[in-house]
Amino acid sequence: MTKPNLIYILADDMGYGDISALNENCGFRTPNLDEMAENGICFTDAHATAAVCTPSRYGILTGRYNWRSRLKSSVMGGYSEPLIERGRKTLADMLKDNGYRTAMVGKWHLGMSFAKEEGFVEKPDFDACDHVDYAGKIEDSPVSHGFEYFYGISASLDMPPYIYIENDHFTALPDHVTKGTGKGFFREGPTAPGFEQEKVLDELTDKVLEKIEEYREEPFFLYFPMPAPHTPILPAQQFRGKSGTNEYGDFVLHCDDVAGRINRKLKELGLFENTILIYTSDNGCSPMADYPELLAMGHNPSYVFRGTKADIYEGGHRIPLIVQWPEKVPKGKRCSRMVCLSDIMATMADCLEIPLEPQMGVDSVSSLPLWLDPDGEEVREDLIHQSIDGSLSIRKGKFKLEMCPGSGGWSDPKPGEEPAGAPRFQLYDLSVDIGEKKNVIEEYPEIEKELREILKGHIFRGRSTPGPEQHNDGEPVWETIRWVEEL
């Protein structure tokens, strides 16, 4: 078998409803992503492990639920220390060990160790930090986690520092400070000469195309976590005003163009047929897109789902997922089975017919059977999600149990602002209530008990897949642990 190439495009804060192939009421057309959908499979029940950036990226690369790491809630910043544990093998490690060239281009957001001077302290609110040696070597960059090459930024494009990193060094020293406002918001911070936020998406895409050209003779894995359409929302000039909505819609069209550029390069090099091209998002759309403005123009990034980025509700973690692999995957299909972004590790292991070590991919389930037969049986028995405040939910079949009384995120009811007398937990029957409007927890006490038992088992076994028990990292202090221990 000729090993397939894998290109994994991860949009940043892009909603399920932002692709016209998935949303019959989309406010604009996404022709390149629609073409991918015509050439592959759209998964309509796909989820990130969490509703925000850092944790969902951890899940993708490790095949492990992010709340098993030391990060129990929120996200990391541009100066944060590494989250992926030393010695933990990633998807890139696995593929590199099996003959793949591996490269990452784009937004890391999983922490690195910069060279620091005396007096360094990581500041709150993701602000710029002093006492950083920008000429020094960076430890624990992506090249320490299975990627032989890295070019990109340390965290989100609204978090300093604003300097490209190549492998384990900054490519330049900062020489000025920049700041953005409005939809183009980014925090004030040190900036390298020539670094302009509005050019970053295209500059990173150019680098991806270079690596495809370079690796064309060998099987390769290219991980491309884009910095868009996350803030700063700065579409290139040729996309401004093209969506008929607002700057966010225009930026989505810019992301759509990126997918088209990559597909055209694959066809040009004769790599199209045997390349797995995945397009997905790390979580739902952010309120920074201006939902009221978009809704007034007939577009809802969350489609029919409740909530936005950060929430335990479906709009926080149900994401677009398109898989294109012309040589193996049927064309123009939809799959309604439940899948998770953490599943890519087990899926690629299944593709390559290689075993996973017991400590690898402990929450990863192979989706390969569904890639080959989208109408096949479910591959997942259940799935756990996390909101920005660390609240968990568990889904099995049509029922979803949320271990918090509100959104757990930025939508109403916000944490601490739930109505008086609200039930402590929420249970929804998604088969008849996809908008999560009617809490049926008092009607199905046996379902609540069953799901809590499953959740407790997955937490304390250190894994949700068959295999030897594993340990979780960090102190189990998040509220859900106390709740499940009540059983």
What pLDDT, in 10s, does the model give residues 407-417? 999 999 999 99
The two tokens of residue 140 are 């624990």
283, 350, 107, 294 alpha-carbon torsion, rounded to 10°: -30
As given in the structure block, the two tokens for residue 248 are: 């966010």
pLDDT at 258: 98
Q: How far is CA 237 from the centre of its chain?
A: 27
Q: Residue 351: pLDDT above 70?
A: yes
Quote the pLDDT of residue 484: 60
Q: Where are the domains of the chain?
A: 5-372, 383-484
Cβ atoms of 267 and 212 closer than 8 Å: no
pLDDT recorded at residue 486: 58
pLDDT of residue 475: 74
pLDDT attached to residue 423: 94
Q: What pLDDT was estimated at residue 479?
A: 54
| pLDDT given at position 474 | 87
Cβ pair 277, 5 in contact under 8 A = no
pLDDT band at 481 (very low <50, low <70, confident <90, very high): low
> Could you tell me which residues come within 8 angstroms of residue 281 by beta carbon, excluding any fewer than 6 positions away?
10, 11, 12, 13, 14, 15, 48, 319, 320
The bridge status of strand 165-166 relative to strand 149-153 is antiparallel
Contact 328, 27 (CB under 8 A): no
Could you read off the pLDDT of 376-395 as tens digits, one per residue? 999 999 999 999 999 999 99
- The pLDDT score that the predictor gives to residue 132 is 98
Q: In what order do the strands lie in the sheet with 426-429?
A: 383-386, 392-396, 399-402, 426-429
The 10s digit of each residue's pLDDT in 17-27 is: 999 999 999 99
Instruction: Output the pLDDT for position 113.
Output: 98
Q: 105 phi and psi, to 5 degrees?
A: -130, 125
CATH topology of domain 5-372: Alkaline Phosphatase, subunit A (3.40.720)
Of all residues in the chain, what percent carry a pLDDT higher than 70? 97
The phi and psi torsions of 79 (rounded to 5 degrees) equal: -115, 10
Residue 350 phi/psi, 5-degree rounding, is: -65, -45
The band of 485, judged by pLDDT with boundaries at 50, 70 and 90, is low
Q: Architecture of 383-484 per CATH?
A: 2-Layer Sandwich (3.30)
CA distance 226 to 204: 8
User: What is the rounded radius of gyration, in angstroms, for the C-alpha atoms of the chain?
Assistant: 21
Least Cα distance to 342 among 366, 311, 312 occurs for: 366
Query: How far apart, in whole angstroms, are the C-alpha atoms of residue 333 and residue 322?
Result: 10
**Tens of pLDDT, residues 229-279:** 999 999 999 999 999 999 999 999 999 999 999 999 999 999 999 999 999
Amino acid at site 468: P
